[in-house]
Structure 1
């Protein structure tokens, strides 16, 4: 690459916008050159923090960059991404890719038609423990898989010092956030359970609760059932800070991983956890540089959307639903 890719952050709605702005500044292949937001206050604050210009003119920003980091409200993803893709701009985006599968597919079709490279931030797929769990499952050591459980939570909705908690109230706005703990933080357990057990369960059920009453669920459990009789359990919450946990059980053995101490246990032995592979932002830059498509990432992003939509439907209707129905 002769010179860094010029990148703008579109939207400071999501709490990870700052993380991605830092990555754009730190990666040798990218240069953060600007910020756009339809919320001037949020966008200007983000631009000031990173020392780059702010613009409320999206067309002008798109005309002057190679790629964009999209961290707008989830509800805006389809419109913003299709516009960026039609302008030939590469896209790195926060999950969910879109509120519906149809919108996700429309985004990817626009990107493919215009040569835009898209990567969705699914960071735990690149973590060392995930790579190790994949290898153990593939080895057959666990036997036929019967159960997988992944839990991820933080304390962002717990009231502190007279406030509502550190997670902004906009994360509990149905119109813009689309969903609460499951749709946001729960995306990570969703795509990991899909990785371990498969992307096509037969049934989906969900229980959502709002411990702190901020508008959307802050405590969620989703259960998926598979044709081979395996069960997957997806847990997410904004109401407790527990170590991130993976459990996978099979007919011959089992494994557990806990973030506390970075410990992976298989049967009666502890297995070393390898280093992370390049993260999604670095993968995005590589795909742009090499002219390749992030096929696995995009497939998983669409399937993530599909399962989140189904889980939200199951919770809304208070019943177990047939997957996709």
Structure 2
């Protein structure tokens, strides 16, 4: 067996940095060897938690590793990833890939030009219910699809007894985060609706609200319309803890899924939900070792970026806008 890949975590800004650090330590093909962060306090705390060195010397750390996990502020993704790619380091990154489609494409061009393997963390594509729902859609049982709704929410922005919610205030910094609930948690409903209905709507509308007044939206609904008259509804929030929900309707039937009990209902029957497939981190390690490119993941990451950018614009202008992906 070849030596484990030496992996560094770049940035402990995102709340999932710890999750990916644990994966790097647990996966037999990787070894977590260091942490860099331009926020010294965050970086040192993360390094101490996982028992690895912290450094402020990014160039020096890149010279010592094979691969990096990027969990910096979203607005820093382009600069950090292009630097890592030009240094020949494989990249696993938290979504969004970048704040704009142009930056996302620049990152991937730098990676492809340097033989770097990139995977974006889009974990629900690997979940068992996603595969089961995709199989039902492919079977034609629902007929012509007309509507899909995906809702994902947690209570990270909710204050209780004078204590601010557990989601860090930095997640509500417009410059660093780019957007709030839709741009972060809402990415998962976005790429699932795109998977079920397609990536080419012709219109986008959005309404954002800030229930807890922390700076950016913590309650969001995005509606996308398709040329064949399908409607997709994407819901995300930091204001309530409720079951993750998928609803899909067609001319011949309907489907619902909830993670409350892991129940997939098609018409009047309940279908078994298979186990999850390999997670994105494991897929990334395999792509590195096999010399393959994560084509589907990267295509979906770019389309995810495109729709989030459009939704943020629609919310800002307060009206339905044409979708620029066409």
TM over 0.5: yes
Aligned to 1:295: 295
Cα distance in 2 between the residues matched to 1:227 and 1:272? 33
Deviations 1:139-172 (A, max 9, x none): 0000000000000000000002422200000000
Give the alignment of 1:1-325 within 5 angstroms: 1-324=1-324
Deviations 1:270-290 (A, max 9, x none): 000000000000000000000
Cα distance in 2 between the residues matched to 1:159 and 1:67? 38
Deviations 1:270-311 (A, max 9, x none): 000000000000000000000000000000000000000000
Cα distance in 1 between the residues matched to 2:51 and 2:127? 31
Deviations 1:79-133 (A, max 9, x none): 0000000000000000000000000000000000000000000000000000000
- Structure 1 unaligned residues grouped into runs of 5+: none
- Structure 2 unaligned residues grouped into runs of 5+: none
Deviations 1:5-29 (A, max 9, x none): 0000000000000000000000000
Following superposition, which runs of at least 4 residues in structure 1 exceed 2 angstroms of deviation?
none
Residue 217 of structure 1 deviates from its aligned partner by 0.1
Could you tell which deviates more after superposition, 312-321 or 160-169?
160-169
Cα distance in 2 between the residues matched to 1:177 and 1:218? 13
Deviations 1:205-234 (A, max 9, x none): 000000000000000000000011000000
Cα distance in 2 between the residues matched to 1:146 and 1:174? 35
- TM-score, length of structure 1 as denominator length: 0.99
Cα distance in 2 between the residues matched to 1:141 and 1:124? 23
Cα distance in 2 between the residues matched to 1:264 and 1:244? 12
Which secondary structure does the structure 1 equivalent of 2:158 belong to?
Answer: coil
Cα distance in 2 between the residues matched to 1:78 and 1:141? 42
- Give the paired residue count: 325
Cα distance in 2 between the residues matched to 1:161 and 1:118? 43
Cα distance in 1 between the residues matched to 2:309 and 2:94? 17
- TM-score, length of structure 2 as denominator length: 0.99
